[in-house]
Amino acid sequence: MTEEAIKRAAGLACFNNPEHIEPLGGGITNVNLLVRDGEEQFVVRLGDDIEEHGVMRWNELAISQAAAAAGFSPKVVHFEPGVLVLEYKESVTFTEADVRNPEHLPRIIGLIKRVHHELGARLTKPVLAFWPFQINRIYINRLQSEGSSHKAVLPDMLKRSAMLEQAVGPVELVISHNDLLSANILDDGDRLWLIDWEYGGYNSPLFDLAGLASNNGLSEAQEHAMLEQYYGASSSQFWLSYQAMKCASLMRETLWSMTSEIHSTLDFDYANYSAENLSRLDAALSDFETNRRQS
């Protein structure tokens, strides 16, 4: 797969003399390559639509272009079916520990808030909505019909998803990233960048905040501070809705991995990833139920 990807990248019309091409780590949906063309470097993302995950490359392109125009993401240099070429930024890719670092976390939250408030104005094309509860219903229905090895836990997940959706209540819609893994945050020493907009779309701000927390192991104290920084108000008024969305985020990541176990051809241990996220989901649901009883 890597050899085929390198060959395809080398033949792209946007390059003059792509003399050095190497794989970039971190991708669990696409093949990512670093290409040196003369004195410049580029990132080539190779991946077609992924129907089972709702990934539509026209949507990713539209949001990537808007994010670049707003200064949140690297410039889009070239695109064609199955290919997205981006300007390379010399930077450090964050780890989960970096996200939890008290020096970095307020910067990340500030960036997320700016994205939510500014990115929509930069769009020039229609984009998708990303409503996690509908996404989770679709995943569950599909996994049941495809005979997933996780079939036994799916009916309970469907009931819990409906309960969580009701608990979230009314929401504000913004353009969200919707996949705030640490590897999608870059630091060039002066500023932060967000990459990988394949799941971008209209959603509640709570989903990005919840995803940031659940994907990177934020402490409860950090979660409260995050909500207070983002909303400029006491976290208590958002806490139960936030916890419900955190459970939805973890459920979506779990179902995404269960689906990838069936469909993905990439070399990644999806079964272990499913187990890890299912454990996180169980813990989050327990916390949510405790807080709901006390509220």
Boundary of a domain, candidates 87, 118, 148: 87
Q: What is the CATH number of the domain that holds 16?
A: 3.30.200.20
Among 52, 87, 122, residue at a domain's last position: 87
CATH number at residue 280: 3.90.1200.10
Domain stops at, among 87, 113, 147: 87
Same domain, 175 and 31: no
State the DSSP string of 33-53.
EEEEETTEEEEEEE---BGGG
> Each residue of 55-72: pLDDT tens digit?
999 999 999 999 999 999
Chain centroid to CA 15: how far? 29
Q: What proportions of the chain, in percent to the nearest 5, are helix, strand and coil?
A: 55, 15, 30
Question: In which domain, by residue range, is 27 found?
Answer: 2-87
Q: What are phi and psi of 41, to 5 degrees?
A: -125, 145
Contacts of residue 17, Cβ cutoff 8 Å, sequence gap at least 6? 37, 38
Question: Comparing C-alpha atoms, which of 136, 18, 123 is closest to residue 70?
Answer: 123
In tens, the pLDDT along 133-166 reads: 999 999 999 999 999 999 999 999 999 999 999 9
pLDDT for 158-174, tens place per residue?
999 999 999 999 999 99
What are the pLDDT digits (tens) for 87-126?
999 999 999 999 999 999 999 999 999 999 999 999 999 9
